Amino acid sequence: MPVKLSNLESVPSDVAEKLETMGIGTTDELLPQAATAPLRQRLADLTAWESAVVLRLARIADLCRITGLIEPHALLLEAVGAGNVRLLREQDASLLVKALRRKNVELQLVRSVPPESTIARWVADANALPLVLED
């Protein structure tokens, strides 16, 4: 489900407005515009962001394609090394939920980590999605 970029805490309002004027107002609109390194560099040049920041936002957009996965979950997945759909596909849900719980104690990104059944669905959904983002 697309998320408005202006609703993401990772996106400053001025950048969200600039992207909106470029026709990029949601995560679904951002992802194809940031799918490759040259495209991300173009966005970085237009927004005055570093390309690494654009990549991080693209990874969040990539994960937001999974139903029920929101920005704080994406940031937590990134913190444990599963920060995009390709990396999430490779995870074992039972090990991932434990890693997420440990990391969330440290970072406190979400009130509670979803149950293993939800994490397993995220992994299954990631396996069903086409790979769009090139790292």
| Residue 19 domain boundaries | 5-128
φ, ψ at 67 (rounded to 5°): -60, 130
What pLDDT was estimated at residue 12? 86
Residue 36 is which amino acid? T
What pLDDT was estimated at residue 8? 95
Q: Is residue 96 part of a domain?
A: yes
What pLDDT was estimated at residue 15? 85
Q: Is residue 36 part of a domain?
A: yes
Structure tokens that stand for 84 in this block:
């995009």
Q: Is residue 53 part of a domain?
A: yes
Cα torsion for 84, 86, 92, 96, to the nearest 10°?
-10
Overall number of domains in the chain: 1
What pLDDT was estimated at residue 47? 87
84-109 core/surface letters (b: 16 or more CB in 10 A; e: else): bbbbbbebebeebbebbeebbeeeeb
Task: For residue range 21-51, list pLDDT tens digits in order.
Answer: 999 999 999 999 999 999 999 999 988 889 9
Q: Is residue 97 part of a domain?
A: yes
What pLDDT was estimated at residue 133? 96
Q: Is residue 134 part of a domain?
A: no
> What's the average pLDDT block by block, 10 residues per block, for the chain (135 residues)?
92 89 96 96 91 93 96 97 97 98 97 97 98 92
Q: Is residue 42 part of a domain?
A: yes
Q: Is residue 17 part of a domain?
A: yes
